A and B are shown apart, each in its own frame.
Chain A
Amino acid sequence: KAGVTQTPRYLIKTRGQQVTLSCSPISGHRSVSWYQQTPGQGLQFLFEYFSETQRNKGNFPGRFSGRQFSNSRSEMNVSTLELGDSALYLCASSLGTRGNLLGYGYTFGSGTRLTVV
């Protein structure tokens, strides 16, 4: 079956612009989580959406937002980009139930590499 698809793979944006990243989870998965990966801070949790509702949120400023659609696809948006937002943004999908963690865990996409200049 198809894995987690993230688009685009690479993005270059200018400071002050905004950007939208997309994530299509594995078919049947209802939970989508977003992580930011940088050399300095490592992997940090942004937020998780489950059945179109934000279920968990990390410690990021309000410039970072997300949403999930009825088909479980998710988007994250970063407004007023800063140089420090340059990172690999990873999306992970799961069934969203406790049983899933016991069985399968999270499946990650290949990420979107965002460069802010």
Chain B
Amino acid sequence: AQSVTQLGSHVSVSEGALVLLRCNYSSSVPPYLFWYVQYPNQGLQLLLKYTTGATLVKGINGFEAEFKKSETSFHLTKPSAHMSDAAEYFCAVTPGGVANFGNEKLTFGTGTRLTIIP
């Protein structure tokens, strides 16, 4: 079974400051990990994902995340916040590996609402 914990339901940062959104996961098998962003009245947009290979992954809009197996974490960062980054962010996990083909439902965290202070 998989689960995701996002620490901090609300995060506020000043424009130009570092953005750090935390995500810890639990998985009995190697996970595939995702970050999605949701703007008001819209669906989810994929920011980035980790499946295999390089543990530091870069996504759209200047975001990146690092998979740390020893810490079971997949924190999302952006060096300099922009007003357009204000949105809700969701971390998600699905079981990885060939053995789990066909069992690819996403388990989401509860989300973190990011506010940017001008």
Q: Count residues of A near B (Cβ-Cβ below 8 Å).
A: 28
Measured CB to CB, the nearest residue on chain A to B49 is A105
Q: Please report the C-alpha to C-alpha distance between residue A110 and residue B49 in the assembled complex, in whole angstroms.
A: 20
Q: Does A4 sit within 8 A of B, measured CB to CB?
A: yes
B34 at interface (Cβ–Cβ under 8 A)? Answer: yes
Which of A45, A90, A97, A111 is close to B105, meaning CB atoms less than 8 Å apart?
A: A45
Is B43 in the interface zone, CB < 8 Å from A? yes
Partner of A108, one of B43, B109, B111: B43
Q: Is B102 located at the chain interface by the 8 A CB criterion?
A: yes
Q: A90-B44, A108-B45 are in contact. Are A98 and B105 (CB under 8 A)?
A: no
Mark interface residues in A73-117 (1 if CB within 8 Å of B CB, else 0): 000000000000000001010100110011001111111000000
CB of B42 within 8 Å of the partner chain: yes
CA–CA, A50 and B90, complex, Å:
25
| Structural contact, A111 and B43, CB atoms closer than 8 A | yes
Q: Are B98 and A98 in contact (CB under 8 A)?
A: yes
Q: Inside 8 A of B107's CB, which chain A residues have their CB?
A: 45
Q: Is A48 a contact partner of B90 (Cβ separation < 8 A)?
A: no
CB distance B101 to A109 under 8 Å?
Answer: no
Q: Establish whether residues A101 and B110, one from each chain, have CB atoms under 8 Å apart when the complex forms.
A: no
Write the residues of chain A forming the contact surface with B, with a CB cutoff of 8 angstroms.
4, 6, 31, 33, 35, 42-45, 48, 50, 55-56, 58, 90, 92, 94, 97-98, 101-102, 105-111
